[in-house]
Structure 1
Amino acid sequence: MAGQFIFQGLSTFCQLSNQTISNRLIQFYSSQYVSVSVTPLQVLQSQTQAFISQFISSMTNDFSLSLLTIRETTQ
């Protein structure tokens, strides 16, 4: 019986992970980079890395908040 609850929890955890990633990827893919002039390669790389870091941070925060909400409502 306990095994069933463990697998239900694992399934919910996986669904939450997939949904969080999907939501953030939609936002990430809808972002555009526009510049009025040619951007130097180093600047472009730096801005791209910052954008990716922000994406990862936002996704991590969303996931942590979801887990915290689940934890608080189930205890």
Structure 2
Amino acid sequence: MKKIIFTLLMLVTTLNLFAQNNTVEMADALRSDGKIYVVVAVIVIILLGLLIYLFSLDKRLKMLEKKSSSKN
């Protein structure tokens, strides 16, 4: 019974979120100035850097695992 009440409560709160005005003034200003592309480019560069770092770290870990397994 508690789960049903909790679920209904969560549904009611999410319906309230849909009723709000979804305009973001900062995004509109950046879009009108053409600066939104700079923001997107910076985010993409940061994400690519993180992905490259994670793949290189994974590669090093695989080499270390291979070396440690060959010693045993």
Larger Rg: 2
- Normalising by structure 2, report the TM-score: 0.49
Higher relative CO (Cα under 8 Å, sequence separation at least 6) belongs to 1
